[in-house]
Amino acid sequence: MAQHHNTAPAELTPERAALAAAIETWKARSAEIAAAQAAVTAADAVWRASRQTRVDAAAAIEPAKAATAEHAIAAAMGIAGEAPITIKAARAALTEAEDNEESAKAALDALTSRLAEITRYSFAEGNVKAAAAAVIAAAPETAALVAKVERLQRELVAAGDALLWLSGAGALNTARIEVTPYRTELPPAAIVATRLQSPPASWTDPLKEIPPGAGRGPWLAAMAALQTDAAAGLPK
């Protein structure tokens, strides 16, 4: 199989300059999204902690009532020790915890909405892909590939016309070959002639020497490289 070598241009073409700008915009938007995601994560942790504090504060009300009653009894008996937290203080702590949880939830909701807005209307990545495609479309390497395929198509049309005429004239060996007493197969000439009557996209290599997608592999790699480096080369 022919080897592909990438060559990077000495300077940016207008298409590559546009790609470079799109990449920078994408990087900035990616950083903005990452920061928004980090803010949501932090706000979520604060909200969860405030919710637990509110749960604990609510659970402390009844114990505070019981402890206050016990202290009042002990005081009446003259054996009271240090006064426990008052019911008023316990309720105040619950109110504060509820307010904190409400504020934390509002902050989390606002940050989550902002992240959704940033993500929903972010076309930066799609713009990079489109700009990379534009670079490839305008590249001389692509024009060379088109010319190569056109030349091969012309050669194939001429050679294929001759082969099909030979087949129609009975001057081509298309008789099936006996491989085993129970199996026969078409000879190479018949396979090639039959393949000419179907679209090239449906052709397969009978010897399995060319893996599926082998031709596009270098271009897939080039497209991926261009999305992070506007000066990345293309298959030669």
What is the value of pTM for the model shown? 0.70
Using the predicted structure, report yes or no on whether residue 183 has a pLDDT greater than 70.
Answer: yes
pLDDT (0 to 100) of residue 2: 46
- The answer to whether 90 touches 64, Cβ cutoff 8 Å, is yes
Torsion of CA 102, 104, 107, 111, to 10 degrees: -130
Confidence of residue 236 (pLDDT cuts 50, 70, 90): confident
- The answer to whether 44 touches 51, Cβ cutoff 8 Å, is no
- The percent of residues in the chain predicted with pLDDT above 70, rounded, is 92
Using the predicted structure, report yes or no on whether residue 201 has a pLDDT greater than 80.
Answer: no
Using the predicted structure, report yes or no on whether residue 217 has a pLDDT greater than 80.
Answer: yes
Dihedral of CA 71/76/81/82: which sign?
A: positive
Kindly state the helix (H) or strand (E) to which residue 115 belongs, with its residue range: helix 87-120
**pLDDT digits 0-9 by tens, 29-49:** 999 999 999 999 999 999 999
- The answer to whether 6 touches 232, Cβ cutoff 8 Å, is yes
**pLDDT digits 0-9 by tens, 98-117:** 999 999 999 999 999 999 99
Confidence of residue 227 (pLDDT cuts 50, 70, 90): very high
pLDDT (0 to 100) of residue 208: 61
- The answer to whether 136 touches 235, Cβ cutoff 8 Å, is no
Contacts for 135 with CB less than 8 Å, ≥ 6 apart: 13, 15, 16, 19, 226, 230
Using the predicted structure, report yes or no on whether residue 10 has a pLDDT greater than 70.
Answer: no
